[in-house]
Amino acid sequence: MDPLRKPFQGLWNVVRFNWHFYLLALVAALGLGLLGVAGPPAARGYASALLGLVLIPVVTSLAVSAYVYDFSDLYRLTWLPTTAPAHPAVLTINAGFDEISAALQRKYAPRQLVALDFYNPARHTEASIARARRAYPPFPGTQSVDTRAALPLPDNSVDLAFAFLAAHEIRDPVERVTFFREIRRITKPTGLVIVTEHLRDTANFLAYNVGFFHFHSRRAWLATFQQAGLRVAQQIPITPFITAFILSPHGSAA
């Protein structure tokens, strides 16, 4: 069976989807490097220091990205619970870039896999998402949904619901709670909701610098789950930079 992911696919995706950032960093590094070598003697030390401030965060984020997306168990899915029923009904949720549906199709051979995409170009304006959508076609049959509206599935119809590196794009806390209440509604009482995310924590700050503000804190996620009526059954640190929340639809909605 052919592998779903190519070597260094994750790192390459990070670079090509965010090439404008890396181009600016390269131009700045070349300018500072030139100034440090051929500039006025009084400016060379400052240029070298600034060059380090430019290069260290870039190299660190790329190294962490390669570890997380290419060398960890994140896409091998070995961290998933082993208690899933045979041929489950599976739901996947993405924000314009779906890297998980095909892998889950292969892992579970589900009797049904529904992929929902809540990407809205008017609200999700990051250039990286638009580039990812051009590079990767959606999973066959993917349906567009609105995080503020009811999901197009009946009550108690899903065994496993996955929000994989996507739900942080719902920036408004009230909207996130509304969305996860919908996920709880369509998940069977015996089912599981699996939310995989970077967190706004020390490890991700060291890895991505100010980029960690794009993530939500563990406290914010726990508040979302509690208000949506989802109970945290398990927290799995897939890497120091990625956490999976295994949720059961047995909490008490606020």
pLDDT tens by residue, 66-81: 999 999 999 999 999 8
- Its domain, for residue 193, covers 89-248
pLDDT tens by residue, 113-135: 999 999 988 877 788 888 998 88
Decide if 147 is inside a domain.
Answer: yes
Decide if 4 is inside a domain.
Answer: no
- Cα(195)–Cα(208) distance, integer angstroms: 21
Do residues 49 and 132 share a domain? no
Do residues 17 and 100 share a domain? no
Give CA separation, 99 vs 12, 29, 194, in Å: 14, 32, 15
Decide if 76 is inside a domain.
Answer: no
Do residues 28 and 111 share a domain? no
Do residues 128 and 243 share a domain? yes
Q: Does pLDDT of 1 surpass 70?
A: no
Domain final residue, candidates 44, 71, 98: 71
Give the count of domains, the chain.
Answer: 2
Do residues 67 and 94 share a domain? no
Decide if 62 is inside a domain.
Answer: yes
CATH code, domain carrying 113: 3.40.50.150
Rg, the chain, Cα only: 20
pTM of the model: 0.91
Decide if 224 is inside a domain.
Answer: yes
CB 207 within 8 A of CB 189: no
Do residues 67 and 154 share a domain? no
CB 128 within 8 A of CB 151: no
Decide if 139 is inside a domain.
Answer: yes
Do residues 205 and 235 share a domain? yes
Decide if 253 is inside a domain.
Answer: no
Do residues 124 and 221 share a domain? yes
pLDDT tens by residue, 133-164: 888 999 999 999 999 999 999 999 999 999 99
Decide if 206 is inside a domain.
Answer: yes
pLDDT tens by residue, 235-250: 999 999 999 999 999 7
- Cα(229)–Cα(134) distance, integer angstroms: 36
